[in-house]
Amino acid sequence: MKNPRQLAFIVLRDVHKGAYADVALDRVLQKVDLADCDRRLVTELVYGSVRRQRTLDTLIDQFAKKKSHQQPQDLRTILHLGFYQLRYQERIPASAAVNTTVQLAKENGFSGLTGFVNGLLRQYLRQAGEQRGKGAEGQGGRGAEEKDSLLLPQSSIPHFDPLELPENPVERLGILHSFPDWIIQVWLEQLGLTETEKLCEWMNQSPTIDLRINPLRTSIEEVEAALQSAGILVKRIPHLPQALRFISNTGSIQKLPGFKEGWWTVQDSSAQLVGHLLDPQPGEVVIDVCAAPGGKTTHIAELMGDSGKIWACDRTSSRLRKLQENSQRLNLQSIQIYTGDSRHFTQFQNTADRVLLDAPCSGLGTMHRHADARWRQTPKSVQELSVLQQELLTHTSTFVKPSGVLVYATCTLHPAENEQVISAFLAKSPDWQIESPNGLELPDSAQIAPQGWFKVWPHRQDMDGFFMVRLRKTNNSE
């Protein structure tokens, strides 16, 4: 079975039963041999429908007699796919979006409701058309009106938008850009309205893929040339000496030149900044206390010239296997793997020159990559993570030698997991202080806060959202 929309429906059905979107998608794609364009369509429909779930539900609420949560779950999923194509997919003709959605309903147990599905989607298009002035000359007949609206260029839809929005700015942004109100509130408090809207728009883009070249095996020029000869376009990223960003379709990452040879690995630019902030030196002892799946660990090894010892700790052995595979592919020898919860280790006390705590977090800075993260996290889960982060920071700071360094980093933009964790730690740890990241080249328009920490805002720096701070243990520490 190779119908991309049917495959997307199967994946979304799993997601609505609780599966992670990327896992469910991978599981389905592995079973079928699809052309690249169909594979991309399935991926777009799945991630797009998950991302835009709140907006799509609002459209169902608006146009159907029964609210979205009252619809049979599979029918709701089919309507999501239809509305997503009409609203967000400019390359799919409106008629194709409607017809294929009706067909999906027919093939998945809703043949008696095909008229309802057809009517609902056409009603959306008709309203978009009417607001544009289509069919305004009186009684052209319903058929003519529908025919006109089905030919509307999709790019016109956002400008003549049938979606009804409330006045309240939090709800308005939440429905329009499809985020829970609480996330919008957290951003508004930090950024204000205009920038929050820009951040929402950025988070709904398809993610870019960055790679980090391995300077122990190759040079950035050599990787650029190898990719170019394979017809793959990349560009360099200012201030990051190992970073390249793909600006064309890549196909399978594992099949690209240099991957098997360990010339490079996939890692977002923001994550690469963390390694440079840690600034590990050859011969040092470094502990990465939440290391899996190993992007930052392997970067530390490269920055140290693979000389010294890196303890890579994590409590999830399956994710540590991924780290092991990566370090073998990159031909790195200095990484030692240690399985377990870093909050309970006693053997590392006062042993490390540097510690990296890339803390487990809500991931609110990477929601463009993880389509379902915005629906999985809650204010309660953020508070629970904040407690875990403080426990990890308090305990793993004891691993650092006097005068040593600890870098705390997260890929979230929530103050409860970032600024508040650091402030609480410093309030009870007089032997620690924030150290300004002198010498670190920052992305354009990026600024270090007066307190000394640094936040990557995706809509400003065009990379994943991150928080990072370098802490130094003073000499008079025990």
CA distances from 21 to 12, 42, 86, 201, 322 (A): 8, 12, 22, 20, 20
* CA–CA separation, 193 and 258 (whole Å): 44
* CA–CA separation, 136 and 378 (whole Å): 45
Phi first, then psi: what are they for 391, rounded to 5°? -65, -45
Q: Do β-strands 400-410 and 466-473 pair in parallel, antiparallel, or remain unpaired?
A: antiparallel
345 Cβ contact partners less than 8 Å away, ≥ 6 residues apart: 313, 338, 395, 399
* CA–CA separation, 82 and 92 (whole Å): 11
Q: What does the block give as tokens for 428?
A: 């009870």
**Residue (of 246, 291, 301, 292) closest to 268 by Cα position:** 246
Neighbouring-strand partners of residue 286: 310, 354
* CA–CA separation, 273 and 470 (whole Å): 12
* CA–CA separation, 209 and 457 (whole Å): 17
One-character DSSP codes across 126-190? HHHHHHTTTT-SS---HHHHHHHHHT--GGGTGGG------SSHHHHHHHHHT--HHHHHHHHHH
* CA–CA separation, 461 and 386 (whole Å): 25
Catalytic residue ranges: 411
Q: Do β-strands 309-314 and 400-410 pair in parallel, antiparallel, or remain unpaired?
A: unpaired
Q: Give the single-character DSSP code of 260.
A: T
